[in-house]
Amino acid sequence: MSGPALKHVDSHTAIHDAALNEAIELTNMLDKLYQDNQKEKALELAYVVIEQWETRTLAHADAEEEGLYKDLVEENPEIKDDIVALTRDHDLLRLIVDDIKQELPEKGINDATIQRFQSLIIVDELHNEKEMDVLPDHDH
């Protein structure tokens, strides 16, 4: 079910911005720890960053897919392709997070891990821009 905040563009943008800014800060901290060769602290923080993506951005993505996106397509079938693209963005975020979760216990933290965390941010930024293009016409 789609909450009222998800259908209100300003509220929705605030939800995205808060989660994304948190992810950026945590990723910057992670990168600094890694660059300073504090591998153990970096590894601990990596698990925190994963949890942040799962509980904030991906939980929000699940809510969008279960409610808002279905509602928007019902209201305007012409945006179905946009919704499919936005859902694919969510899938990419999930895939990257899962990839990191598999790699960490086996390989620890390395440059590739940091790059994956940074790629999450890029995908999410592009996703949010596209979503805001789709949403305004449907503001209630």
Span 58-68, pLDDT tens digits: 999 999 999 99
Decide if 52 contacts 22 (C-beta within 8 A): yes
Residue 1 in contact with residue 58, Cβ under 8 Å?
Answer: no
Cβ count within 10 A of residue 42: 23
Q: How confident is the model at residue 17 (pLDDT cuts 50, 70, 90)?
A: confident
Of residues 17 and 86, more confidence is placed in: 86
User: Does residue 2 register a pLDDT over 50?
Assistant: no
3-state helix, strand, coil in the chain (%, to 5): 90, 0, 10
pLDDT band at residue 138 using 50, 70 and 90 as cut-offs: very low
Domain ranges of the chain: 4-138
> For residue 37, is it left (φ>0), alpha (ψ between -120 and 50) or beta?
left
State the DSSP string of 10-66.
HHHHHHHHHHHHHHHHHHHHHHHHHHTT-HHHHHHHHHHHHHHIIIIIIHHHHHIII
Decide if pLDDT at 119 tops 50.
Answer: yes
**pLDDT tens-digit series, residues 79-111:** 999 999 999 999 999 999 999 999 999 999 999
Contacts of residue 119, defined as CB under 8 A and 6 or more positions apart, other chains included, come to: 96
Question: Which DSSP category does 111 fall into?
Answer: H
Position 136 confidence tier, pLDDT thresholds 50, 70, 90: low
